[in-house]
Amino acid sequence: MDQRPNSGEHADIRLWLRLLYCASHIETALQSRLTAEFGMSLARFDLLSQLERAPGGLTMTELSRQMMVSNGATTSLVDRLAEDGLLERTAHPSDRRTTIISLTPLGRERFLEIAREHESWVIGLFEGLSGEAKAELLSGLGALKQHLSS
């Protein structure tokens, strides 16, 4: 009995591997640039980004959930960014066991500075693709995202 996958299954594996390669390559390029130009990790940038989108701040649990990492990993990042003066912790108004994490004015300024560069780097990574290729990728990945979410 032949145990080899059929060509459709082979194509699915190739697609998955190609997605992994591209995501990894993009992540590595962005991490290298963030480190070289700003001395910041992608995880720290992501945390600042989450807080920029939440002007009222986020609890540690909300922040961990949005970043899709453990509370322990988030705590470590928060500690370092607080030491750098980029974010602050305040007591939750109705639950003294909960802390709200938010950007300081310096944190917001720093994030926006880095975000402008980050955006130009992302655009540069895709500049070799035609508008049509980008639209096809966006559509296909949108369909995949919807399929995986259902």
Q: What is the pLDDT of residues 48-104, one digit of tens each?
A: 999 999 989 999 999 999 999 988 889 999 999 999 999 999 988 888 888 999 999
Q: Quick one: tokens of 14?
A: 């190739």
Asked if residue 79 belongs to a domain, the reply is yes
Q: Which runs of E-coded beta strand occur in 1-150? A: 58-59, 87-91, 99-103
According to the model, what pLDDT value does residue 65 have?
93
Residues 99-121 as b/e (b if ≥16 CB within 10 A, e otherwise) read bbbbbbeebbebbeebeeebeee
The domain tally of the chain equals 1
Quote the CA–CA distance of 64 and 144 in Å, as a whole number.
25
| Reported pTM | 0.83
* Domain hosting residue 93, numbered range: 40-149
**Cα Rg for the chain, rounded, in angstroms?**
20
Does the pLDDT of residue 120 top 80, yes or no?
Answer: yes
Q: What is the pLDDT of residues 3-58, one digit of tens each?
A: 555 656 689 999 999 999 999 999 999 999 999 999 999 999 999 999 999 989 99
Asked if residue 83 belongs to a domain, the reply is yes
Asked if residue 94 belongs to a domain, the reply is yes
CATH code where residue 85 lies: 1.10.10.10
Cβ-Cβ contacts under 8 Å for 115 (sequence gap 6 or more): 49, 52
Asked if residue 12 belongs to a domain, the reply is no
